[in-house]
């Protein structure tokens, strides 16, 4: 059999009968699971800026992947063509948070499984993944970490500042200390009590302190 005969054979014409009800059911489940992933992402988001576009793309990704997999599994020729077409696609979107990769793969996996006809697996697997992520998120501390920068004129002012900070916050860790002819710059990572930041005003009133700056710090804080 020559190469031309292979393309003329019925092997390449193996097209399943298109079923509108099956397609509709698969797309509805893909939408439901995509919305579930969207809700879990919104609930567990802990980054700097929440992106509505990225969250909505999780829903679209599950729908599009389901559609593609259903088309691939229905026709051999189409599957070979899609493999070639998708291999040239390059995504340049920056991933700001490591957890975003998890949600992207979750949406892709859900779409692939639903498109392959294994809807119960997609539903059960998504419920387990979502439950685990929400569980670990709820166990994580929600205290907001801050970076406090204080300019002290001398060591006495530094000690008074450290004492005041220690008595006013839940946790206080010195991250850096710079000493020069102009004085001492103290940088500390802190966790405040009940989001109260009025202690910064009292720090600025200490003799020898020329300025105090408090900024929000986003990152993992190891207890």
Does 123 have pLDDT greater than 90?
A: yes
Q: 105, 139, 173: which is the final residue of a domain?
A: 139
pLDDT, averaged across the chain: 78
85 plus 120 within the same structural domain: yes
Domain of residue 121, residue span: 3-139
pLDDT given at position 69: 84
The confidence band for 36, taking pLDDT boundaries of 50, 70 and 90, is very high
% of the chain exceeding 70 in pLDDT: 73
Number of CB atoms found within 10 A of residue 57's CB: 18
Question: What domain count does the chain have?
Answer: 2
Instruction: Give yes or no: residues 32 and 135 share one domain.
Output: yes
State the pLDDT at residue 48: 61
- The pTM of this model reads 0.59
DSSP H helical segments within 87-148, as ranges?
98-115, 119-139
Least confident of 50-54, 93-97, 120-124: 93-97
Domain boundary among 94, 118, 139: 139
- Spatial distance between the Cα atoms of 100 and 142, rounded to a whole number of angstroms: 19
Domain boundary at 120, 139, 158, which?
139
DSSP assigned state of 215: E
User: Residue 222: inside a domain, yes or no?
Assistant: no
pLDDT digits (tens, 9 = 90+) for 37-82: 999 998 888 666 677 888 888 999 899 888 888 877 766 556 655 6
8 A C-beta contact, residue 54 and residue 96: no
Check residues 129 and 85 and name the one with the higher pLDDT: 129
Same domain, 66 and 48: yes
């Amino acid at each position: 059999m020559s190469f031309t005969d292979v393309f003329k054979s019925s092997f390449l014409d193996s097209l399943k009968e298109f079923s509108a009800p099956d397609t509709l059911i698969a797309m509805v489940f893909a939408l439901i699971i995509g919305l579930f992933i969207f809700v879990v992402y919104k609930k567990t988001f802990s980054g700097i800026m929440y992106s509505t576009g990225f969250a909505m793309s999780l829903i679209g990704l599950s729908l599009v992947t389901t559609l593609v997999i259903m088309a691939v599994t229905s026709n051999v020729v189409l599957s070979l063509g899609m493999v070639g077409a998708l291999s040239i696609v390059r995504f340049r979107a920056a991933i700001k948070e490591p957890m975003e990769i998890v949600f992207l793969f979750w949406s892709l996996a859900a779409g692939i499984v639903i498109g392959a006809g294994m809807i119960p697996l997609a539903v059960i697997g998504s419920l387990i993944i979502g439950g685990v992520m929400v569980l670990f998120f709820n166990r994580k501390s929600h205290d907001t970490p801050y970076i406090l920068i204080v300019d002290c004129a001398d060591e006495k002012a530094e000690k008074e500042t450290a004492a005041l900070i220690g008595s006013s916050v839940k946790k206080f860790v010195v991250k850096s200390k710079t000493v020069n002819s102009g004085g001492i710059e103290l940088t500390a990572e802190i966790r405040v009590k009940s989001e109260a930041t009025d202690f910064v005003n009292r720090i600025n009133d200490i003799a020898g302190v020329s300025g105090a700056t408090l900024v929000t710090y986003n990152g993992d804080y190891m207890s």
